[in-house]
Amino acid sequence: MLIQTLGFFVRFLDMMGLRKWLLVATTLGSMSMAFGQSLSSADDLNLVQSWSQQPNGWSYPLAVSVPSMPSPSDGFPVGIILHGNGGNGAQMLNLGGDLLSNHILIAPTGYLNSWNLCGENSEAPDIAMLEDLISQLSAFDNVDDGHIRLIGSSNGAGLVNQAFIELGHPGLDAFVAIVSQMNEPQYHNGAFYRPNGATDAPVPFCGYNEEVEPAQGRRYLSICNDNDAVIPYDGGPAVGNVFLPAEVAIHQVAVQQGHLGPQALGVPDDALDLSVFSYLDGDVVLLRGSAGHGTNAAQIEFAAEFLALDVPPALDCPEDLDLDGLVSVGDVLILLGEFGCVVNCGPADLNADGLVGVTDVLAMLNVFGAPCAADESIPQVTSNATFEVEVESGIMYAEGLSHDSLNSVSAEVMPLLLDAYVPLGAGSNRPALVLIHGGGFVGGSRAYSNMVNLAQYYSSRGWVVFSIDYRLVGDLGTVPEAWVDSLAGLSIDPGTLSQSLAIYPAHRDAKAALRWVAAHAEEYNINLDYLTVGGASAGAITAIGVGVTEPEDFTAELTVEEDPTLTSTHLGVDFEVRAILDFWGSRISVSILEGTYGLDRFDPSDPPLCIIHGTEDVTVPFFNALVLESTYLGTGVPYVLHPLEGAGHGPWGASLDGQNLFELSFDFVVQQQGLNVQD
C-alpha cells in the first residue's frame, strides 16, 4: 500500500528534505492545543459535582451540537437547553435547533432525570453545575461567552427561573421558561430567594430562605398556557410545589428588571391564539396560549424571534475572499498571502489600484466581522434528492501515453474517460463536483459503486458531477525524470515505488479533467466559482494534490515533445478548486512534488478542506489526517476533521453524530461556498 506506517512517512519526509516542515506542522498543532481550543463535542466538557447522594462525584451527561460552519470572529452564541422531569438532554437538541439557529447547543441531563427545585428526588447542586458549565464554555475560542441563553421546559423551566435569580454571569443575556412560571419558594415576601442549603419540601418555602437580587439587563420570556393541567396558569399547588399566577410572576420579573408601572394587559393575537404581556419594550414577556403542558408552532416561532441576535445588515463585500459569507480571519490571511502583489492580483486588490497594499488591508479591517449580502448569482441546491439525473457515460476528456516500460519510446495513446451526472430541470448556474476514485493507484474505476452513489447524491441535489478515470500503475504513464530521480534513492519496496511513480500521471490526468470541465462549463450550465474536487484514498490524495497546487504543477514538468498527448488536455484553460473532499487520503503527492522541485505549495489561498478518516485505518493511517490538520492550521485556511472512531479504510457506511458521510461532506461544501439551500 502507498503509506503503511508512520515510520515510512517520516523517513520519506527526511529524505526529501521535509523534516523541518514536519517539525513546524507539529509545533503549530501543539501550540493550537495549548493556547486555543474550540469546543467540538461533549468530550471537551467535564461536569462533575459531589453532594450527599453522590459523595464520590457524579458526571452530568451532556448532548452537544456545534455548527459545522466556520466560527464567527466572536465565536458562536450558546444555548443551554434544560429538559423536563423524566426527560434527558439528547431529547432537547431538537427544541434547541428550532429556537436557536447557528448556536452551539448544550443539553445536560439532570440527576435522576430531574432538576433539584423543591420536591424532586434529586438533591443535586444544579446551579453549581450551570456555573461550572458557563465557566468552562468561556475558555473555548469558538464560544461567544457574551451571548449565553438558558431555555428550559417544565421542570427545566424551573431551573431556568432559579438561574435567572442566582447566576450573575454577564454573558447570560436571555432566559426562556416554558410551561413553568416562578414558584413561591423563588419569590415570596416581595423578594427573590435561593436556598442556603438543601431543598426540603416540608420546611417553609422549601428552604429558599436567602434573599437574592437578580442581575439587571436580562431578557426574559415566559410561555404559559391557560389550559395547562400540570402547572396552573392562575397559580397554586402542583407537582410538589406552589406556583405564582403567571401574570403576577412576569410582573415581578419586570419590576425587578426596572419596570415601574402596574401589570400589563395582554394584547391578543387571534390569528395565533396567543396573548402577549410585554414589559420594558419587549425585553420581559409573558406569552399566554392554550397548548396545554406544551407548546405550539406559533409559540416556538415567537420564542425564536425573541432569542434572535441583532445582526448587522449584510454587505455587498468584495472583502469576503474565501466566499464563506463573512469577512473573517480567513480573508485576512488570503489578503496577506498576496500582500505586495503588483501583477494580476485578482480579488485581493480590493481597491483595483494594481497593488495589494496597506489600503487593501485597511479596507478589509474596516468591515471585519461583517456578514455579506446574499448574491443572486450564487447557485441554489437542495438538501433532499430533488432532480432526476441523466448520466452521460464514457466521455473522452483527454488522451495519455501508456508506455511498454517506464518512459520507454514505445508507447500507445489511450483515451481518458469520464461520466457526467446532470441534474435535469435544475436550470443554469450549477455548482460542479469532480470525483476521483480510489484503489491505491493500482485499481479502481469511475464506475466504483461508492463513486456512483456519491455522484447520484450530489447531482440529485443540483450539482453537475463528473466521475473520472485516470492512468494507473499498469498503464505506465509518462513520468518526469526529476520525479523518477527523486524516488530512485528511497529505500521503498517496488510496489510502493510503482505507486509513487503512478501518482504523477494520475494527477496530470485529473488536472486535464478539471480543465475539460472548465472548457465545457457553459455547455453544462456550470458556475466555475463553485468547483469542488473530491475523492477517496488514492482519489483523495489526488484531489488534495490538484486542489492546492499551482496551475502549472503536474502539467508543465513535461514538454509536448516528451508527451504529445498534452495537446489534448485543454492547455491554457483556467480553473480554481473552491473546496476539497478528502475521504481517508493524505498530502503525500504534494510532499513528493515539493521535495522534487524545491517548492512550497500549501498557503492561505488553498481551498477549504473536509477530512474524513477512520482512526484505525492501516492502509492510509490516521496520522495522515493529523498531518493535514496541522498543515491547514499553519496556513489558516478553513478545514474540518471528522475522525471516524474505530473505523478502518474505506468505511463508507459509517456515520458521525447521526449524519452519514455524504451528509457531512454536503454540509461542508454548502457552508464553505455559501450556497443557497432549499429543502
Q: Is residue 376 very low, low, confident or very high in pLDDT (cuts 50, 70, 90)?
A: low
Say if 22 falls within a structural domain: no
* CB 619, CB 608: distance < 8 Å: no
Residue 220 C-alpha cell reads as: 426574559
Q: Is residue 324 very low, low, confident or very high in pLDDT (cuts 50, 70, 90)?
A: low
- The label of the residue with cell 464563506 reads 324
* Bridge partners, residue 535, by sequence: 436, 582
Residues 353 and 408 in one domain: no
Instruction: Please tell me the predicted confidence (pLDDT) of residue 16.
Output: 38
* CB 93, CB 66: distance < 8 Å: no
Q: Higher-confidence residue: 350 or 445?
A: 445
197 pLDDT more than 90: no
Residues 293 and 355 in one domain: no
Say if 269 falls within a structural domain: no
Contacts of 266 (CB under 8 A, 6+ apart): 247, 275, 276, 277, 286, 288
CATH number at residue 354: 1.10.1330.10
Say if 184 falls within a structural domain: yes
2 pLDDT more than 70: no
Please choose, from the candidates 309, 307, 356, the residue with its C-alpha nearest in 3D space to the C-alpha of residue 335. 356
Percent of the chain past pLDDT 70, that is, above it, reads 92
Residues 58 and 184 in one domain: yes
Residues 541 and 581 in one domain: yes
DSSP 346: G
pTM of the model: 0.51
Q: Is the dihedral of CA 614, 616, 621, 624 positive or negative?
A: positive
CATH number at residue 526: 3.40.50.1820
24 pLDDT more than 60: no
Instruction: Please tell me the predicted confidence (pLDDT) of residue 427.
Output: 86
Say if 569 falls within a structural domain: yes
Instruction: Please tell me the predicted confidence (pLDDT) of residue 604.
Output: 92
Name the pairing type of β-strands 526-536 and 464-468.
unpaired
Residues 52 and 90 in one domain: yes
Residues 474 and 353 in one domain: no
Half-sphere exposure of 219 (CA within 13 A, CB side): 18
- The label of the residue with cell 488522451 reads 399
Instruction: Please tell me the predicted confidence (pLDDT) of residue 374.
Output: 53
Say if 1 falls within a structural domain: no
Q: 329 phi and psi, to 5 degrees?
A: -60, -40
678 pLDDT more than 90: no
Residues 345 and 437 in one domain: no
Q: Higher-confidence residue: 333 or 640?
A: 640
In degrees, to the nearest 5, what angle opens at C-alpha 104 toward C-alphas 79 and 604? Answer: 150
Over range 33-62, report the average pLDDT: 87
Say if 516 falls within a structural domain: yes
* CB 638, CB 70: distance < 8 Å: yes
* CB 403, CB 476: distance < 8 Å: yes
Instruction: Please tell me the predicted confidence (pLDDT) of residue 677.
Output: 85
Half-sphere exposure of 291 (CA within 13 A, CB side): 18
* Bridge partners, residue 59, by sequence: 48
Contacts of 171 (CB under 8 A, 6+ apart): 134, 138, 144, 145, 146, 147, 148
pLDDT (tens digit, 9 = 90+) per residue, 471-512? 999 999 999 999 999 998 787 888 899 999 999 999 999 999
35 pLDDT more than 80: no
Residues 620 and 507 in one domain: yes
Contacts of 33 (CB under 8 A, 6+ apart): none
Q: Which long-range contacts (CB under 8 A, 24 or more apart) does 121-126 make?
A: 122/53, 123/51, 123/52, 123/53, 123/198, 123/199, 124/49, 124/51, 124/53, 124/54, 124/58, 125/49, 125/51, 126/159, 126/162
Report the phi/psi class of residue 82: left, alpha or beta, with left for phi > 0 and alpha for psi in -120 to 50: beta
Residue 53 C-alpha cell reads as: 447522594
DSSP 372: B
Tally of structural domains, the chain? 3
Instruction: Please tell me the predicted confidence (pLDDT) of residue 524.
Output: 96
* CB 627, CB 28: distance < 8 Å: no
Say if 471 falls within a structural domain: yes
Taken as a whole, the chain contains a residue count of: 679
pLDDT (tens digit, 9 = 90+) per residue, 387-420? 999 999 999 999 999 999 999 999 999 999 999 9
pLDDT (tens digit, 9 = 90+) per residue, 637-651? 999 999 999 999 999
Rounded to whole angstroms, what are the CA distances from 47 to 60, 205, 564?
6, 29, 66
542 pLDDT more than 80: yes
Q: Is residue 29 very low, low, confident or very high in pLDDT (cuts 50, 70, 90)?
A: very low
* CB 331, CB 200: distance < 8 Å: no
192 pLDDT more than 50: yes
Residues 627 and 664 in one domain: yes
Residue 615 C-alpha cell reads as: 482512526
Q: Which long-range contacts (CB under 8 A, 24 or more apart) does 412-417 make?
A: 413/565, 414/471, 414/475, 416/468, 416/469, 416/470, 416/471, 416/509, 416/512, 416/513, 417/446, 417/468, 417/469
Instruction: Please tell me the predicted confidence (pLDDT) of residue 14.
Output: 46
Cα distance between residue 104 and residue 407, in whole Å:
55
Over range 372-401, report the average pLDDT: 88
DSSP 251-272: HHHHHHTT--S-PPPPEEETTT
Alpha carbon dihedral 244, 247, 252, 258, in 10-degree steps, equals 170
Over range 232-256, report the average pLDDT: 96
28 pLDDT more than 70: no
Q: Is the dihedral of CA 435, 439, 443, 449 positive or negative?
A: negative
pLDDT (tens digit, 9 = 90+) per residue, 287-323? 999 999 999 989 998 999 999 987 555 556 788 887 6
Q: Is residue 20 very low, low, confident or very high in pLDDT (cuts 50, 70, 90)?
A: very low
pLDDT (tens digit, 9 = 90+) per residue, 652-676? 999 999 999 999 999 999 989 988 8
Residues 89 and 212 in one domain: yes
pLDDT (tens digit, 9 = 90+) per residue, 168-182? 999 999 999 999 999
The residue range of the domain holding 326 is 316-372
- The label of the residue with cell 466581522 reads 369
Residues 195 and 230 in one domain: yes
Residues 453 and 496 in one domain: yes
551 pLDDT more than 60: yes
Cα distance between residue 552 and residue 409, in whole Å:
25
Say if 20 falls within a structural domain: no
Least confident of 26-30, 312-316, 571-575: 26-30
578 pLDDT more than 80: yes
